[in-house]
Each structure stands twice: as structure tokens, then as C-alpha cells.
Structure 1
Amino acid sequence: MSTSPLSPTERTTVRRMRERARSERSALYEVLDSGMVCHLGIVIDGTPRVIPTGYGRVDDTLYVHGSTGSAGLRTAPSQEICVTVTLVDGIVLGRSVVHHSMNYRSAMIYGVPRLLTDPEEKLAGLRAITEHIAPGQWTTARLPTRKELASVAVLALSLEEASVKTRTGGPKDEEEDYALDVWAGVLPVRQTFGEPVPDDRLRPGIPVPPHIADRAHAS
């Protein structure tokens, strides 16, 4: 895993609100490891599309997957794509509606993805995605058959060209507005997990595995 700082490019250099830019590669890892859904931006037949999907990370490689029938995944390896992940940490409420905002952490990655064709590498990519969304599940559930593996497309995208931007803190009101009798502050936003709900066809006597129960109770 690289500990080097992010290398700014023309596309990843933050120009507006530069103080919110983060240059540490660890900040990129933190955003990606905390999120669950990424948005893959791609142009298909001249039309831009933004596709939400699950993902996983191993060192400086991001993995996304989908059906081999997906036009987005078929087209992606032939062009530059943009992948984003955004986490909302709070709603910032100002004394003026103009100064309402959000506290957030976001990452943007550019590059040409690589379609994985080697079965072992494809399995490694799927494991990264599965373990990111549901840690411990890869060694619990049945692994894909050869036919199932052939029906899935997995893309690998380098994290070489990426930017990170964050906002923290309270509202930044106009000086004269601090005298207003209007509540201002931050409403925190947190992601939590509820109690696991068993499948309707789950055979009796199968308990919730510890790696799922522990995650739910940790929330």
C-alpha cells in the first residue's frame, strides 16, 4: 500500500475552496474504505451516464463489478472514466439560507479501467468487493461457479489519479447575521445497521453469524 501523497493533475487539482483539498493518500483510502456505493461516470453512445454500484479496494486498485451484459462495463475499458464516492457527515444550518451547507468527505478518481479476464484475478476482485460491503462473508457463503464467474464483469481501476475534498465545522455566516435569533449549527449524519432480518426461506436453526451480528450491534 502506497504512503505517498496524491499527485495532483490538471483534472484533480482543486481550484474552488482549495482549503478543503486533502493531499494525503491516506485520506483517499479513508473515504473509499468508509463508503459503500460509488458512482461510475461513463459516456455510452455519446450520452453520459452515472452508474451507482458497489466496490472494493486492495491497496491502490479499486474494483467494481456488474453483469457482462451491462453496456457500461463493456464500454468502460475503452475510455477514460470517473468514479466518485461521497460521504455526508452533517447538515450545516446557517443563520442565512445562503450559508447552509454539508460536512462531507469525497473522492474522485480518473483513469482507464482494466477488464479482468484471469479467473483468479477476477475472484480476487470479487472478494475485495464482497469483503468491503460485508466483511467475513466471502468465507461464509458459497463461492461462484465457473458459469457464474463468466457472467460477471469485474473492472480494476488504478488510484493513481485521484483527488479528495472535505468539509468540517459549523456555518460561516455573514458577520451581521450573528445577531439574528436563528438557531445555527450542525445536524450530524451517521450510517447505522439495524437488526438482521432473516430470509423467508432460511432453514430453522441457522443463527446470524458473528461477523454480521457484531456489525449490527456495533452501530
Structure 2
Amino acid sequence: MPGTETAYQPTDRTVPTRSRERAAYDRELVHAILDAAYVCHLGFVRDGAPVVLPTLYGRVGERLYVHGSTGSRPLRMAGQADPGLPVCLTVTHVDGLVLARSAFHHSLNYRSVVVHGTAHQVTDADEKRTALDALVDHVVPGRSADSRPANGKELAATAVLRLDLAEVSAKLRTGGPNDEPEDLGLPHWTGVVPVRTAYGAPVPADDMDPSVPLPGYLAAL
């Protein structure tokens, strides 16, 4: 059954032409990279030209969901296209700045995922609500149950795209600089500057009732 294997099968589009040793297809690793990010970049072709849009997303099992206005280009195109809209979706984390002795070997430590496939507009009402809850919970787990759900008017103004995780790859770089042997004696600082994401203390809205307590899921961030 699709989604039960421990790894995604490589394809011509998911095997990189450079640094193939950094590619990975492990399903749990791909899920972990996707679940740890907030923004993806969705690429598609409109009128013969490439378009790439940053957007929020959510994952439910082996499906990714993105949402937007019913008038947005990719959502409108996915609803009009048959059998759907060909897309490429990417997610990237920067984990470190890799400073080598030579300018050529400077790099980044990173984790990334690339998904190729066909996006379809979600028309089933139950799936749409599930997708929208997943989008909210992807930002802060538990938030969808602690907020008013979308009403009929809001649902009518919102479109959701579904992209199955089938043609998928991850790519990672870890470790220090890869300097040339003849550069090892050069008097330049070399190493890695770690990059981390940190959350600040939650700031309540000016119009919030002061008696409303801070939710546990925010205190745990």
C-alpha cells in the first residue's frame, strides 16, 4: 500500500545531479523536515512562465495541504486544470553557516525537502475542514481546538490544495568546511556558525480579556 514503505522511491526528478550522497528518501526523515518548518515555496507554471509563491502548509499523513483565497492564481488554476496543477513544493531549514578558508568552499548546513506532483483543489467539505485544522495546528499544535472554526462565509472564500507525497526527496548537509589540502595552513578563521530558531515570550493582544490564561501549548514553546 502507498505510504506504508519506509522510504520513497527515487525518480529522475528526485535524484540530484550534484552531491547525490546528500540525498535521502527515508519517509520519517522527510516528515520530520516538513513538520519542523512553517513556510513552503510552491512552484508552478502560469502562461508559460515559472511562478514561485511562499505559503503556509500542513501535513496529514502522506498529504500536504496549502490554502489561499479562492481568487489566488494557483488555487484557481488547480480547480480549472484537468487532472490538476503540476507543481514543485520545497521546504528548507538553514542549520549553520559553513565558513571555509577559501571563498569557493563556503556553504550552509541545511535540511530540505522537494516534492513533485499534481495539486488538486479540495472539494469535499470534511476533507477541507481537516486540512484547515491541520494548517492551524502546523503553526501551533493544539490551536485549532482552541479557536473558532471557519464559518460558512469564510469557508466559501477559502480554497485548499492537496498534494500527495509520492515523488519526494530530502537533501542534507552537515559537518564542517571541506577545504583543499593546500589551503589548510592559511591564516583564516574556519568553522561553522550554528543557526537556530528561538521563540520569544507570547505577547497578548491589546484587546484580550486579561482573565484569559496563557494556553499550555504556548507555555510549552
Q: TM-score, normalised by structure 1?
A: 0.94
- Give identity over the alignment, percent: 49
Residue number in structure 2 paired with 1:169: 175
> Deviation string for 1:98-144 (max 9, x for gaps)?
11000001110011111111111100011111111111111100011
Partners in 1 of 2:74 and 2:165 — Cα distance?
20
**Is 1:137 aligned to residue 143 of structure 2?**
yes
Residue number in structure 1 paired with 2:95: 89
Matches within 5 A, 1:32-181: 32-76=34-78, 78=81, 79-181=85-187
SS in 1 for 2:214: coil
Residue number in structure 1 paired with 2:17: 15
> Deviation string for 1:63-102 (max 9, x for gaps)?
1111111112111352210000000000000011111000
Runs of 5+ consecutive residues of structure 1 not aligned to the other structure? none
SS in 2 for 1:52: strand
Q: TM-score, normalised by structure 2?
A: 0.94
SS in 2 for 1:120: helix
> Deviation string for 1:27-56 (max 9, x for gaps)?
211110111100000112222111111111
Cα RMSD of the aligned pairs, angstroms, is 1.2
With 75-84 and 31-40 compared, the bigger mean Cα shift is at: 75-84
1:203: Cα distance to partner? 1.9
Give the alignment partner of residue 5 of structure 1, picking from 4, 7, 23: 7
Partners in 2 of 1:153 and 1:56 — Cα distance?
14
Partners in 1 of 2:58 and 2:4 — Cα distance?
17
- Residues 3 and 26 in structure 1, CA contact (< 8 A), matched pair in contact too: no
- Residues 63 and 129 in structure 1, CA contact (< 8 A), matched pair in contact too: yes
- Residues 2 and 25 in structure 1, CA contact (< 8 A), matched pair in contact too: no
